[in-house]
Amino acid sequence: MPKLSKRTADLPASPIRKLTPLAQAAEAAGKTIYRLNIGQPDIPTPRSFMEGVRNADIPVLSYSPSRGMPATLEALRGYYAEHGIELSTDEMCITIGGSEAFTFAMKAATDPGDEILVPEPFYPNYRGYSYLTNITLVPITTYAEDGFHLPPLEEMESKITPRTRAILFSNPGNPTGVVYTKEELERIVALAIKHDLFVISDEVYREFVYEGEAISVFDFPELRDHAILADSISKRISACGARIGVIASHNPEVMSAANRMAQARLSPPSFGQIGLVAFLNDPHHADAVESMIAKFHSRRDTLYSALQEIPGIICRKPAGAFYVIVKLPIDDCESFARFLLTDFERNGETVMVAPGTGFYATPGMGRDEVRIAYVLEEDKLVRAVELLREGLAAYQETMSGAAVPSE
């Protein structure tokens, strides 16, 4: 039998999705599962987006231009301008979701064997993309006790080697909910300028800020040739299935590379672009996003309050996005997450979380952590946390019993 490539053989499974077969088996057995493992908003996609798709008069569903339809690029130019980000349509390329934006950015910034610095815990698909592009993610470890804020400049600089080509981060943060301060971002800017690095900024959760402010990589003029934006419409308008993202940069060489990669994969989805244009042309589009953010703000407060009832946890209130990393009194987060799906239920209900280890590059980190996505209605969040608390107590009792040798 032919041998698989090393990069695919070593490719880790997503901590967000790897337990899905267990969840499906539990549901087949009649259990109700409160899914807190994946960042799929439950809020309906805006009507203007859906009507734009339904009303599209397309006799032939042909390829769209490789870098996106002109109408899509122009609509996005206006969106970014509303947020104080001035981009020309030549400085953007539509991608197949944020995922392709990240991979385009990584490929533009690195050659095989190069390194990218990334604060951990991080969005686990960064790691998958790094395997597929044959580069190494070098972690900058952050901690729950500090709210996952960045360490001092000297600690970050100590990670730089002759193979370092870029710094990648999400702000607001997935999976931590951290919102970096201007001073923290200035540390990244200083490193990028001093060591001539690209800065790849994942700003998918730009509007999801409850304390502080979202500061874009484009807010630093000195980064003009260094900054690469990776973005997506998936979260801000609850359109994950549209698969529309964008890579943007003021650096013409970066955009030339992105456009050539876009040509190699032909075209981004047409219906997703049509829906986005219809949404952004709606004069009330900003109100729709603001209404969604208000719901997540309230959910954040409800979830955080409920979590405080769990004994022994460490959890700082997240300032943005719709995730929180919770440190629990356990020593094997994947075992615990599996237990919740296979061995635990209360009145036919259980909860699904994402094991923390998959969000780290440093071996051993995150073993006592889980990520929670607060993408459910508030009453469901409260019930999910009740199940998490009871499941934790049952798991601790089981582990305690397992540790006692039989006589």
Check whether 152 has a pLDDT greater than 60.
yes
Asked if residues 197 and 165 have their Cβ atoms less than 8 Å apart, the reply is yes
Q: What is the pLDDT of residues 58-75, one digit of tens each?
A: 999 999 999 999 999 999
Give pLDDT, residue 13. Answer: 79
Give percent of the chain above pLDDT 70: 99
Give pLDDT, residue 285. Answer: 97
CA–centroid distance for 76 within its chain: 20
Between CA 292 and CA 207 the distance in angstroms is 10
Full strand arrangement of the beta sheet holding 354-355: 323-327, 369-373, 354-355
Between CA 145 and CA 82 the distance in angstroms is 35
Question: How would you label 2-13 residue by residue, b for 16+ Cβ within 10 Å and e otherwise?
Answer: eeeeeeeeeeee
With 0-12 CB in 10 A as exposed, 13-18 as middle and 19+ as buried, what is 288? buried
Give pLDDT, residue 18. Answer: 85
Domain ranges of the chain: 6-44+286-399, 58-281
Predicted confidence band of residue 404 (pLDDT cuts 50, 70, 90): very low
Check whether 405 has a pLDDT greater than 50.
no
Give pLDDT, residue 300. Answer: 98
Homologous superfamily, domain 6-44+286-399: Aspartate Aminotransferase, domain 1 (3.90.1150.10)
Check whether 403 has a pLDDT greater than 80.
no
Question: Which positions ≥6 away from 191 have C-beta within 8 Å?
Answer: 153, 156, 157, 160, 167, 197
Check whether 402 has a pLDDT greater than 80.
no
Check whether 392 has a pLDDT greater than 60.
yes
Residue 116: closest CA among 200, 175, 60, 185: 200
With 0-12 CB in 10 A as exposed, 13-18 as middle and 19+ as buried, what is 53? middle
Other beta carbons within 10 angstroms of residue 194's beta carbon come to 11
Q: What is the pLDDT of residues 90-120, one digit of tens each?
A: 999 999 999 999 999 999 999 999 999 999 9
Q: What is the pLDDT of residues 321-351, one digit of tens each?
A: 999 999 999 999 999 999 999 999 999 999 9
Residue 251: closest CA among 122, 126, 118, 104: 104
Average pLDDT rounded to a whole number, residues 356-365 = 96
| Tokens 């209130």 sit on residue | 317
Per the model's pLDDT, the better-predicted residue between 407 and 10 turns out to be 10
Between CA 188 and CA 150 the distance in angstroms is 10
CATH code for 58-281?
3.40.640.10
Average pLDDT rounded to a whole number, residues 380-403 = 92
Residue type, 129: Y
Average pLDDT rounded to a whole number, residues 284-307 = 97
β-pairing, 227-232 vs 32-35, is: unpaired
Tokens representing 128 are: 């998958």
Check whether 406 has a pLDDT greater than 80.
no
Check whether 407 has a pLDDT greater than 60.
no
Check whether 233 has a pLDDT greater than 80.
yes
Check whether 274 has a pLDDT greater than 80.
yes
Give pLDDT, residue 395. Answer: 98
Give pLDDT, residue 3. Answer: 87
Mean pLDDT across the chain, nearest whole number?
96
| Tokens 């790691």 sit on residue | 127
Average pLDDT rounded to a whole number, residues 365-376 = 97
Angstrom CA distances, 247 to 5, 97, 181, 203, 313, stand at 28, 10, 23, 11, 38
Between CA 373 and CA 395 the distance in angstroms is 21
Give pLDDT, residue 351. Answer: 98
